[in-house]
Structure 1
Amino acid sequence: MSHPRVRIRELTKDSVNFVLEAVDLAFANSLRRVMMADIATVAIDIVEIEQNSSVLADEFIAHRLGQIPLISTECDNLMRYTKDCSCSSHCKQCSVLLTLDVSCNTDDTVAVTSQHLEQSNDFPYDDSAMVDNDMLDRRDPNFGSPLVTRQASEEPILIAKIRKGQRIKARCIAKKGIAKEHAKWSPCSAVSFEYDPHNKLRHTTYWYESNVKSEWLPSANGREEEIPQDDQPFDFNAKPEKFYFEVETTGSLSPKEVVTKGMEELTKKLAFLTHQIDAGGDAEMNGGMAGSLANGHDASGWGALPSNGANGLASGASPPVVGGWGNASPPAWQVPNGAAAGGWSL
């Protein structure tokens, strides 16, 4: 099997369609799962309702606030997990404070949307926390804000509707997390892939009335592969090596960042697994949770090496796993001449 290759077929600001080649099915599915559940983003986690005279219960509003995508560019490097921060509660390094205060004083119905969420620095700051000003300065100016504050052309997300005399006032604390803890931290709204569009491997059995070809039309990905002949011999040992991915993001991260960070996280997981196997199982695994603490800062990894305490996933070459990178470099992005030509730039 040759080195993995990625070819971008279509790229927009919220989605990417690409072809991943020279990997096996397990690797392709692992990449899909990592993009969905292991990439860190920022989402509202704590909601303090100060006043709510709307028809919706406090819990209903809190749940809706948690589902609003927040700008999370480079979140894994520019924000700490709350559990790894040295502050006593919440601070600028591990949290983003958002406030919501909307009243209706007219006879018209007022729509309370994500546009009304505003960032605030007015929360108790633990002076004992080790402040990393460089980390804060490198953040996007809108880091932690709802998407509509930066992209006014898009409609804001509706939270509730209030009438005259009603008011919603809340204080929200957004934190860093991954979708394994809660789906609100997932940067993707949908991730799917297809392989073997002509069913040459017989992995799918079609239900049909009279003619399978007329009732099951081939997918658009079928244009990428040669159509098999009816009398073509069937290879029982053949395995898929070409996968057609469709990734749609929530907007918290760009499609480029979702895919590249997904590959980075998967490489780290495989490297850590290889290290544990080579160590003979004597090293402890740190509970399998991301975000170990290294020198007072969050190390976006999966445990520490027993010898020097360094991030066990950041050293050495990628593991020589089947369908992985081996000791070679990660796949290069091959962009066709078209709308997505020139790389990831839109």
Structure 2
Amino acid sequence: SQPKITLRALTRERANFVLEGVDLSFANSLRRAMIADIPTCAIDMVEIQSNTTPLPDEMLAHRLGMVPLISADTSRVLVDHRECSCEEGCDRCSVELTLHAKCEERGIMQVTSKHLIRSNSLGSPYGDDEAMNAMGPMPSAQKSLDFGKPIGFDDPSVDGVMLVKMRKGQELKIRCIARKGFAKEHAKWSPVSAIGFEYDPYNALRHTAYWYELDAKAEWPLSDNAREEEAPPEGAPFDYNRKADRFYFDVETVGSMSPVEVVETGLHILELRTAQVVQELGVLLEGPVDGDAGGAMPNGNGLDYGG
């Protein structure tokens, strides 16, 4: 049967859907791709110019790195900083954010991610566009006006991520460089906070051995996904030929990307990697196609999601 996705619920930060017509390896590959292989933008370097708050510099830098930044279309608007020939960051590979807060009054001042301000431009160390083109890869699209800003920066209903609390006279002044990265390098680049993944809610395939004390059914209640399938007859013989072909996903994002973009990008990553395997196998079996053995397909860390 053909692959099919049935959307059960969709919000700004969550997508719940059923994937059918694929095998377990494909469904699990999609889950892993959405968690670790989608590029996003996150703070990667912090320059602390002044910090008289109780929080040590190292802890503050870690908290800044975990702040979700708006990352739509990251693969097209930023190049990998390791492929860029600049030294400290430029508009091609980085986004600059600054924060300057000082408590002037009695009481406690809460400094959150909403105090982070994205700079309009980092500038170019190369002088002009022609020189930039000669110094390495260029982004294939322009950044949006909100790209790299903390999520919810302009939404009063969204609380900013707490960074530090200050008393009167304390000051925090920092400069941050955000870069493109993948969650397989560090969790701060993951676009999702969690992905619920289930199949065979009745355990008819016996992939799970339940540990229980008295009653397995009472101690391991069925999930809501069991409503989507017919319960197997009590005492039915085990079907050795049956395979899982219906998978239940619950994708929750951190807000840096929409859940629709996360799922679509995850599927596109699998498509590109499958095409790359097919191409390489074709080269091994039949020789280079049109004289090009491998230049047509991007590598795993340089996926181009553009047309």
Q: CA deviation at 1:233?
A: 1.8
Provide the rounded CA distance (Å) in 1 between the counterparts of 2:233 and 2:224: 19
The two structures have a TM-score, normalised by structure 2, of 0.88
Map of 1:311 onto structure 2: 297
Shift of 1:252: 0.3
What's the TM-score, normalizing by structure 1?
0.78
Does the Cα contact within 8 Å between 1:268 and 1:313 map onto a contact in 2? no
Letter in 2 for 1:208: Y
**Bigger CA drift: 44-53 or 126-135?**
126-135
Structure 1 counterpart of 2:132, from 117, 129, 132: 129
Residue matched to 1:40: 39
Structure 1 residues 299-322: Cα deviation after superposition (integer angstroms, max 9, x where no partner): xxxxxx9547333579xxxxxxxx
Alpha-carbon distance, 1:156 to partner? 0.6
- 1:100 and 1:281 map into 2 onto residues whose CA distance is 57
**Equivalent residue of 1:279, what SS?**
helix
Sort the Cα spacing of 1:234 and 1:157 in 2 relative to 1 into closer, same or farther, 3 A: same
1:280 aligned partner:
284
Q: Does 1:216 align with 2:230?
A: no
Residue number in structure 2 paired with 1:3: 2
Q: Residue deviations 1:108-148, cap 9 Å, x none?
A: 11111001000114645212323979832xx3221100012
Output the CA distance in 1 between the equivalents of 2:88 and 2:169.
35
Matched, 1:23 2:26: no
Task: Tell me, in whole angstroms, the C-alpha distance in 1 between the residues paired with 2:298 and 2:90.
Answer: 28
Unmatched 5+ stretches in structure 2: 301-307
Aligned-residue sequence identity (percent) comes to 47
Name the aligned partner's letter for residue 205 of structure 2.
L
Q: Which amino acid aligns with 2:25?
A: A
Cα distance, 1:74 vs. partner? Answer: 1.1
Unaligned residue ranges in structure 1 (runs of 5+):
284-304, 315-346
CA contact (8 A) 1:51 1:170 kept: yes
The question of whether the paired residues in 1 share the 8 Å contact of 2:77 and 2:139 is answered with no
CA change 1:312–1:175 in 2 (3 A) is closer
Distance change in 2, residues 1:99/1:26 (3 Å): same
Matched, 1:201 2:201: no
Do the aligned partners of residues 280 and 251 (structure 1) sit closer, same or farther apart at CA in structure 2, a change above 3 Å counting? same
2 CA distance for matches of 1:312 and 1:97? 28
AA aligned opposite 1:240: A
Q: What is aligned with 1:162? A: 166
Displacement, 1:78?
1.9
How far did 1:192 drift?
A: 2.3
RMSD: 2.3
DSSP-derived class of the 1:84 partner: coil
Q: 3-state SS of the aligned residue for 1:93? A: coil
Show structure 1 runs of 4+ deviating over 6 A.
131-134
- Cα deviations across residues 215-240 of structure 1 (Å, max 9, x unaligned)? 32211000000011113221022110
Quickly say closer, same or farther: Cα 1:278–1:225, change in 2 above 3 A: same
Aligned partner of 2:304 in structure 1 is none
Deviation at 1:107, TM superposition (A): 1.2
